[in-house]
Structures are given as structure tokens and as C-alpha cells.
Amino acid sequence: MKKNYLDNPGSLKIDLMLRGTRIDDPVVKAWACGASGVDIMLPQNTLVNIPCSEMFTEESPYVIKKSGDGYIITDGTGTVPVSLVPKPKYYSLKTSTGVPFSKIGVFHGSYTVITPSPRCDFFNRGIECRYCAGNFDVRGVENQVYSVEEVLETVAAVLKEGASGIIYLSTGFSPGPDGGIEFLKPYIKAIKKRHNCLVAVETLPPKEDRWIDETYALGADSVLYNLEIFDKELFEFLCPGREKLIGRKRYMDALEHAAKIFPNGTVASHLIVGLEPPGSTCMGIDFLTGIGVVPILPIYRPSTDRALRIGPLTTEIIIPVYKHLYKKVKINKINFKWVRDLSMVTTPLEVRALVDVNEGAKNSIIENFYKSKIGLKTAWGLSTLRRKLRVKDSRDPSDSSGRE
Amino acid sequence: MSVEIDTRPIWIILALKSLRPLFFLLLAVLFWYFINMPSPAGLTPAGQNAIAVFLLCLVLWVSNAVPLAITSIFAIVLVPLLGILTKKETYALFGNEAVFFILGAFILAGAVMHSGLSNRIALNIIGKFGGSPRRLLLSVFLLAAVLSFFMSEHAVAAMLFPMLLELSKSLKLRPGRSNYGKFLFLALAWGCVIGGVATFLGGARVPLAMGILKETTGATIGFLEYTVAVLPLVVILLAVGFALLMILYPIDVAGVENAGEVVEKRLKGLGKMSFGEYSVGIILLLTIIGWISMGRTLGLAAVALSSVVVLFVLGIVRWKDIEEYVNWGIILMYGGAIILGSALDKSGAAAWIINGVIGRWSGSPWTVFAIVSLLTIFLTEAMSHAAVIAVLLPVVIGISGKMSVDPSIMTYSVATPAGLAFILPMSTPANALAVSSNYITVRDMAKGGLIMVIVSWVLFNLMAAFYWPLIGIGRLR
């Protein structure tokens, strides 16, 4: 029996991300042209990036249509009013060096993702993750590193427009003990020095915990070490580089340490739904939430230019995984309000509507406050104050000044 | 960048942080109250202010709420401001001989370390005498002690520490588990602590004590006189310390051949002895002879500073080579402590305290000596050595006057035990470094340290009672 997900924005988001949509409107088509999908706002302010150009979307039951002044999504049985998220204005601007801002900073809702260098040494060694179709591929792009100034100009444009309140810096694998934080250090420091905004950092787990401490001390407000796959054997098979040069255990240890250092709810890790059995993903959720980490569950869609072909799971199978996520996050009292309003993944906050419809429909005053400009400033202020209180200078024990 | 993140709940951190301004506010209110309350009978207003400044500095030194040097600067500001001494008198006290002796000693020690001479001596001694596990331990222990006779114990600990870490790694000692590792790092710490009390040079605290003694009574203790009085204690403590370590941490390694290789490699890296090393060595030797033979007539500071001038005139060192070795914080701290001691004395506050408070409980001089040395030896575990001297010595010198005991003797009762800190890592940088190696824990240090503190106190008092009269230092009854 065909299920209807139109009534619940949480499940609709998941279904749309899995099956994509067809587009029956020239404006929306134009929007999606050249982009990785179309950003649509579903009811209850649920933001989603819907695939629309891939082959599988041709068989999607969903269509985006014009309806009066706005838009609707229909599956043939019903409709739901939606709105097209305007492209950020900064996408049409360039840095002083002539680089389009859209190349440096990619808008994902509450976050703007900046990857200063697409370098990931796993590719150089032929041990890249088998599913990787993301930002990282070093072949032919060795010298493509955006300067600190270029990144700062982009951040300034993002913040001026108010497109996102959080800047998400990411980097691929590089040899060295720091996991990539040394590379991101000048960017984090410069952004924190010039702008009052929150910064999330995605790197590989460093070899020693002191780098995690330093990540926090530098000004990162949130950190992500993406485990991606919880199942041990599948992790070894699908992520040979991560397994060989970092190790699954180091991911877990690093996340556990980070959860002790960073504020509740600001340490997260991706578990890709669809790359392993749902039961295994649930075990990953149990483990991560048990150590105070927020699991973020992106949905795997096979890409045409990658060798790995795993058939996608269905929404019926995936929804219980998301429900499990929400319950575990609640049980472990993890603050999940930091990870919100992301177009590419379904967040625990959005899943709330699947578990409790009444809860999902209403946003608390505090949630609404933190979405506002003043709320973001407050979050930044509190985060800075917390860091000021927590970070201590570690003095050299041989320093005898003052002792005699 | 090396950072540490406080992972305690934020409300605890916040509460603790807010204690700091509250603490200073309370201190300011109490200070204000003290200087404005009616003066007790027999105490002049200047004396009352001097006691208030003394108590304020006492709290700040003990709590370490601000750096020790800053507390001293605060004292330097408050003393003339409150009319305890004139501005001219106050700042003139900063030109005390002890302050300049310490400056000279820092520069000389800096020259020795910068030239590499101290490193070469250490490596040679360990290389020559450290052939067996036991001899290696003894070499480290005695080397730390003997070097601390001639240079600051802190500098000795800092110099030997990386070498010992390397030796431990080469011997594959397991941090926290290996008895030999524990022994090695406790030998470093205890060697420095025991050796540091042998002469004026082991730390700046003895010169400070001498400075306070001279300012308040005009009496002095010579370099040789002090060493002769204290050296037997040092020798016995070294023997007891080594024996205690042998009992507490029986040797659990078969050989130390790997350590020999490390030493040999380092020595090769040093190359031939340079002109600078020879020159610094000769000047240091001449300086020590000068302190012994002309210390009383010329003054220790004059001898030290003359050597410093020679070092620069001959171009053996440059100022930028030396700058990092001069601990200006300690020099400022000492200046302030001497000013405070003098303020208590000249304002009549010290006499008032002795007459009104301490005089009541003081029995025989022997009792006072024993109590003061006990108080010092325990206070120095929690407080800076110099702060202990600054706090206790002016009062103790006052007591000696009242009891008609030679103030020089009472100076020993504070100056020597103030260096004997064995229990806690925070008491002295040598202990802190030893614990930071991870080969010993705070518990390891405290276990043996407590025994050493008790033994030290007993031996010190026995020496004062039976040995000092033999060498002509006044008798205590």
C-alpha cells in the first residue's frame, strides 16, 4: 500500500530526499539549474534540498508546481504548500580576487559550508571512501586553496546578508597528527577575530586529544568527526583510508573526548543511512548518544560517477531509524537544538514531528529566539564566555617565575 | 599553543571565577577597616598601617591571587602612601645589597647555562660515575645537589630534567610503574632541594633573609659562615634521602647500558670544551673564592656584580644571552619583601606584635627556635619560600631581640627550613618538574616527602643544639 507522507514535514523531507522530485515550473527549474538540488521550505519551517536532476528523480511521485502566488508539492493524491528558498544574494558576488562567493561558501540553511581546500590525501593514496562524491577530490585541484582573505570576504558577505548564522569549515584528510586543524587554524582565528559568528569545524580525528582541546580553544563552537559507518567490517571495506590511517576506535575516542570538552549538543558525527543495515545505524546512534554526541543522519543516494552501487533504502525502513535517533537523543539529554535547519540532512529536531505531532508543530520561544539575529548574537556571546571560562593556559612546569 | 580545558560544570567554574572579585572586594574592605579602626594601645598609626599592609601581603602571598612580584609592588606603593615610611626611604630600600646579589647570581647562573658548561659537567659526571643502576641514581642525586650549591636549584632541575626524561625512555622505564623511574625523578627533586639550602646560591631566599637581617639589625652572616653551619645537615640529609629512596623504591632494572649510550651521544654533540665554557668556569670559581674570602669586607653583591662586569667586559656573554635567565619577578618580590620587613620594624609594629602577642607564649629560646623552624618547614610546602621568609623573619628577628638571642641564629631558623620542601609539587619547581614527568605521582612524592620533612626538622634542631655551639654560633638554651 502506498504511503502518504504529505501530512508530516519530517517524513516528507525524508521521502523527498530519497526519491527526489520532478519540476513543473520554469522558475524552479531555473533555480535548480547547475545546483545539487532545489532548496524548498516545507511546512513548519522544514528546509529540504530535494534532488531533481538525477535519473531516479524521473520516477519520483512528487512534482513541484506553481499554485497561485506560491508553490505546492503533490504526489498525485494530495498537495502541500511549500515555498522556494531564494538563492542567497551573495551567490552573485565575487571576492576581490575574482572568485565567485558561491564557489567558496555553499549555503545549507543555518550553516554556510566553506571548504578552503578540496584536498583529501585519501585520493592521492587510492584509499578514498568508496561512496565519496562530496567536496573532496584532489585530482587536478592541488593548488586550489582559498586564502584566508577570500574566506573572510565570503563570511562577511554571508553574515551581511544574514544568509546563515553559522560558518561550517571543513577539510579533507591530510597527513599529520592534527587531523587538519592546523590547516584550518588561520581561518578559524581570522573569522573569530573579525566576526561575531559561530563556527563549526569538520576535520578528521587528530591523533592526540590535545588537538581537540586546541580546536575548542581556537574558537570552534562545534566539531564534527564523521564516523559515517558504524559497522566494523563495512567501515573497513568502505572507508579504507580512514581505517588504515586513523582507525575506527580513534574516531570513537576522539568523539568521546570532544563531547567532554565542547558544550552539550555541539559535537556531532554523520552516520550515513543506507550504507549499512538500519540495525547497525541504530547501534551507532546508541553508541554516539551514549557518549554525548549528536548523530546526524544523511541519506545515501548512489551517484552515477561512483563505482559503489548500493540500492537505497525506503522511507518505511528509514523512518524508524530517525525515530530511534530522536528518542535516544532525548533519553541521553543531548541538546539537539544546535544541529537544526539543514537542507541536506534530517535533524533530530525535525524528527520530533514524527514521534510527537503536537510537539513537532510548535517551536518553543527559546528555539525561535535562537533563530533570530539577536538570538544568534546571544548564542555567540554565551559560547565565547563559556570558552573564556573554560580555556586555561597550560604553563611550562619549569617556569619558576614567582616561585622561590 | 598548549591549552587545558576545564571540564567542570560551567556553573562551578562561574562560581569559582566570581569568587575572585569577591575575594578582592572583601580584602579591600578589611584593609580599609584595619587602617581606619582606632589604634590599639601602644601601637602608632604608622605601625597599624604597617600591620595592615603586612596582613594584606600575607593573604596575597599565601593565596597566590596575584603574582608574588605584584604583591611586592603593591607593598612598595602602599608603604609610602600610608605614611609608614617616606618615599625616599622606601625606594632606597629597594637598593638593598641582597637584591643586587640575587641579580648577580642570576646573571652568573645564566652565563654558566648559556655557555653549556653546566650541561657538560652534568653529562660527564653521569657518564663517568653512572655505570651501574645504583651508581647512576647516586650520580644524579649528588649531581643535582652539588650543582644546587652553585646555582639556583630551579635552574639545576630545569637543566637535568630533559636529560633524565631521555635516560628514562632509553631504559624503557614505565611511567608511574617503574621503581627506578620514581627513584630517578625523586633523586632529581630531593637532590635539588637538599643541595639548594647549602649555600647562598641555591636559591635567592637565603640572600633575602640576610637582607632582612641586615636592614633590621645591621648584623650579617657570611657566605662561608652560613655554609659551614648548614653543610653537615645537607650531608646527612643526602645520606638519609638516598637511603630512604633505596628502601621505598628498590631498584628494578638490571642494567643501564642504554643510558650510557644516550649520555655518550649527547656529549659527542657538545663537541670540545669551548673558550666560553673555560672562561665562565674560571670566573665562577674566582667568584666563589671571592665570596668566601672577601664576602664580609666587600659584600657578596659587589663580588657577584664584579664578576658579571668581567663577563661582559671580556665579551664572554651578551646581554640578550643572559636576559632570559634573569627572573625579574623574583627580584621585584625581594625588593618588596625587604621594604615590608623594614616598614614593620621602623614603624614599631614588629615590636608591638612581639610584646603584645607573641611575647606571651614564648617560653625558652629553644622552644621558639623549634616552633619557628617547624612552622617554616610546613608553611614552605604551601607558600613560596621567599614569601615564608618575608612573612616570618621580621617577626622572628623581633622575638630574638626580646629574648636576648642573637638574631642571626633566629634567621637560620627561617632561612634554612624555608628551602626544605619535599612533600608537594607546588612547593618548588624541582618537585613540580619531577611530578610532571609522570614517573612519580603526587602521592609518591608526599609519601617519602613527609618522612624527609620530619627527619629534616629533627636533624636541623639537633644540629642547632649540638653542632652550632662547637663552631661558635651562639648557644640556645
Contacts of A388 in chain B (CB under 8 A): none
Contacts of A399 in chain B (CB under 8 A): 429
Instruction: For residue A202, list its beta bridge partners.
Output: A170, A224
Min CA distance, B34 vs chain A (Å)?
28
Determine the Cα–Cα distance for residues A261 and A328; give it in Å rounded to an integer.
21
Confidence at residue A401, expressed as pLDDT on a 0 to 100 scale? 42
CA distances from B191 to A102, B144, B417, B428 (A): 65, 5, 15, 13
Interface residue B336 vs chain A (CB under 8 A): no
Min CA distance, B222 vs chain A (Å)?
21
Q: Is B442 exposed, middle or buried (0-12, 13-18, 19+ CB in 10 A)?
A: middle
Confidence at residue A268, expressed as pLDDT on a 0 to 100 scale? 94
Are residues A112 and A346 in contact, defined by beta-carbon separation less than 8 angstroms?
no
Candidates B68, B158, B205; nearest CB to A402: B68
Could you count the other beta carbons within 10 Å of the beta carbon of residue A361?
12
Interface residue B429 vs chain A (CB under 8 A): yes
Q: CB distance A401–B17 less than 8 Å?
A: no
Confidence at residue B427, expressed as pLDDT on a 0 to 100 scale? 75
Are residues B163 and B266 in contact, defined by beta-carbon separation less than 8 angstroms?
yes
Closest-approach residue (CA) in chain A for B196: A404
Are residues B148 and B195 in contact, defined by beta-carbon separation less than 8 angstroms?
yes
Place of cell 534540498: A49
Interface residue B193 vs chain A (CB under 8 A): no
Distance of CA A227 to the CA centre of its chain: 13
Interface residue A260 vs chain B (CB under 8 A): yes
Average pLDDT over residues A175-200: 92
Min CA distance, B254 vs chain A (Å)?
31
Contacts of A386 in chain B (CB under 8 A): 10
Q: Which residues contact A272 (CB under 8 A, 6 or more apart)?
A: A131, A228, A229, A297, A298, A299, A300
Contacts of A394 in chain B (CB under 8 A): 2-4
Closest-approach residue (CA) in chain A for B206: A404
Interface residue B404 vs chain A (CB under 8 A): no
Q: pLDDT category, A396, cuts 50, 70, 90?
A: very low
Determine the Cα–Cα distance for residues A53 and A59; give it in Å rounded to an integer.
12
Percentage of chain A modeled with pLDDT above 70: 88
* A219 φ/ψ sector (left φ>0, alpha ψ -120 to 50, else beta): left
Question: Is the whole model's pTM more than 0.80, yes or no?
Answer: no
Closest-approach residue (CA) in chain B for A400: B429
Interface residue A216 vs chain B (CB under 8 A): yes
Candidates B67, B158, B161; nearest CB to A402: B67
Interface residue B204 vs chain A (CB under 8 A): yes
Candidates A392, A393, A404; nearest CB to B330: A404
Three-state SS at A22: strand
pLDDT digit string (tens) for A231-261?
999 999 889 989 988 999 999 999 999 999 9
Contacts of B161 in chain A (CB under 8 A): 398
Q: CB distance A390–B10 less than 8 Å?
A: yes
Contacts of B102 in chain A (CB under 8 A): none
Confidence at residue A394, expressed as pLDDT on a 0 to 100 scale? 55
Candidates A216, A399, A403; nearest CB to B384: A403
Q: CB distance B327–A400 less than 8 Å?
A: yes
Interface residue B386 vs chain A (CB under 8 A): yes
Which of 448-477 (B) contact A at CB < 8 A?
Answer: none
Instruction: For residue A39, list its beta bridge partners.
Output: A49
Interface residue A404 vs chain B (CB under 8 A): yes
Interface residue B7 vs chain A (CB under 8 A): yes
Q: Is B289 exposed, middle or buried (0-12, 13-18, 19+ CB in 10 A)?
A: exposed
Closest-approach residue (CA) in chain B for A386: B10
Contacts of B13 in chain A (CB under 8 A): 389-390
Min CA distance, B152 vs chain A (Å)?
9
Are residues A114 and A167 in contact, defined by beta-carbon separation less than 8 angstroms?
yes
Confidence at residue B476, expressed as pLDDT on a 0 to 100 scale? 54
Min CA distance, A104 vs chain B (Å)?
29
A70-74 and A79-84 strand pairing? antiparallel
Q: What angle do CA A196, A199, A203 make, to 5 degrees?
A: 160
Interface residue B383 vs chain A (CB under 8 A): no
Report DSSP state, residue A133.
-
Which of 55-74 (B) contact A at CB < 8 A?
Answer: 64, 67-69
Q: pLDDT category, A328, cuts 50, 70, 90?
A: very high
Question: Highest-confidence range of A127-136, A267-276, A355-364, B107-116, by mean pLDDT?
Answer: A267-276
Instruction: For residue A81, list its beta bridge partners.
Output: A72
User: Which H or E element spans position B114?
Assistant: helix B97-115
Contacts of B205 in chain A (CB under 8 A): 404
Candidates B2, B3, B428; nearest CB to A403: B428
Listed by start position, the domains of chain B span 60-352
Q: CB distance A404–B2 less than 8 Å?
A: no
Contacts of A210 in chain B (CB under 8 A): 2-3
The secondary structure of chain A in percent helix, strand, coil, rounded to multiples of 5, reads 40, 15, 40
Closest-approach residue (CA) in chain B for A215: B3
Contacts of A220 in chain B (CB under 8 A): none
Are residues B397 and B213 in contact, defined by beta-carbon separation less than 8 angstroms?
yes
Interface residue B300 vs chain A (CB under 8 A): no
CA distances from B218 to B177, B212, B303, B331, B406 (A): 53, 9, 20, 21, 12
Are residues A49 and A14 in contact, defined by beta-carbon separation less than 8 angstroms?
no
Whether A307 has a pLDDT exceeding 90, the answer reads no
Q: CB distance A397–B384 less than 8 Å?
A: no
Candidates B13, B152, B203; nearest CB to A389: B13
Interface residue A394 vs chain B (CB under 8 A): yes
Count chain A–chain B contacts defined by CB atoms under 8 A: 86
CA distances from A389 to A211, A384, B6 (A): 19, 9, 8
Q: Give the amino acid at B296.
A: R
Confidence at residue B448, expressed as pLDDT on a 0 to 100 scale? 92
Determine the Cα–Cα distance for residues A343 and A253; give it in Å rounded to an integer.
29
Are residues A158 and A191 in contact, defined by beta-carbon separation less than 8 angstroms?
no
Min CA distance, A222 vs chain B (Å)?
15
Q: CB distance B429–A403 less than 8 Å?
A: yes
Convert B65-100 to b/e letters by CB count within 10 Å (16 or more is b). eeebbbbbbbbbebbbebebbeeeebeebbebbbbb
Q: CB distance A402–B10 less than 8 Å?
A: no
User: Which H or E element spans position A106?
Assistant: strand A105-107
Interface residue B313 vs chain A (CB under 8 A): no
Grid coordinates given for B323: 636576559
Mean per-residue pLDDT pooled into runs of 10, chain B (477 residues): 82 86 95 93 91 88 80 92 94 83 81 84 79 89 92 79 80 88 94 94 85 87 92 97 95 82 83 89 87 76 91 92 81 80 81 67 77 86 76 84 84 94 81 83 89 96 92 68
User: What strands lie across the sheet with A198-202, from one edge to the other?
Assistant: A105-107, A111-114, A166-170, A198-202, A222-224, A267-270, A294-296
Could you count the other beta carbons within 10 Å of the beta carbon of residue A148?
13
Question: Highest-confidence range of A17-21, A378-382, B456-460, by mean pLDDT?
Answer: B456-460
Are residues A250 and A239 in contact, defined by beta-carbon separation less than 8 angstroms?
no
Interface residue A388 vs chain B (CB under 8 A): no
Class of domain A225-355: alpha beta
